[in-house]
Amino acid sequence: MQSRRNKGSPGTDRTRTAADQGQRPPPEVGEGGEAGAGVEPVRQPIDGVLDLHTFRPSELGALLPEYIGECQRRGLSQVRIIHGKGTGTLRTTVHSLLQRDPRVLSYALADAAGGGWGATVAQLRPSGPDR
C-alpha cells in the first residue's frame, strides 16, 4: 500500500494512507479478500468461444454451465473452450464439468486450427420446448 508522510504538528510522524484521504486503496491479492472485489464484471460476448485465460480457476464451476446455457438459448450447437496447454489441470476441470452437463452431447480436443490440445470443442444438445 502506498503512503505519504503527513507534516502534522511538530513531533508527530504520521503515515497517511489512501483510506485516510477518503480514497479506496487498490485491491491487493492475499490480504483477506479477492482482488478486484467490487469491480464491475467484464461482459463476454456469447459467440460460442470461451477463452478461460481471463478467469480464475475457482470461477469455472459457475461460469462454464452458465455459458453453455446461454449458448444453447441462443441456438448455438457448438462451444469452443480455450483452456490453454499448461499442465492440463484446467483442461481436466473443463472436461469434468462437460462430462457432468446433460446439455453436452460430446466433447473432444480441438483440431490444430482450433487450438489443438489447448482448447476443447463441445457439441450441445438442441434446446427447445420438446427437448
Identify the CA nearest to 48 among candidates 88, 24, 75: 75
Domains and CATH numbers, the chain: 49-124 (3.30.1370.110)
Provide the whole-model pTM: 0.66
9-59 pLDDT, tens digit per residue, is: 444 444 344 344 444 443 333 333 444 556 566 677 899 999 999 899 999
Closest of 43, 47, 44, 121 to residue 82, by C-alpha: 121
Q: What is the pLDDT of residue 43?
A: 73
| pLDDT for the residue numbered 38 | 63
Q: Do the strands 78-82 and 3-6 form a parallel or antiparallel pair, or are they unpaired?
A: unpaired
Average pLDDT over residues 2-8: 42
Would you tell me the crossing angle of helices 89-100 and 60-73 to the nearest 10 degrees?
Answer: 50
Question: For the segment 101-118, what is each residue's pLDDT rounded down to a tens digit?
Answer: 999 999 999 999 999 999
**∠ CA 60-83-112, rounded to 5°:** 150
Q: What is the pLDDT of residue 120?
A: 98
Q: Average the pLDDT over 55-81 and give the result.
A: 95
Checking if the pLDDT of 99 tops 70, the result is: yes
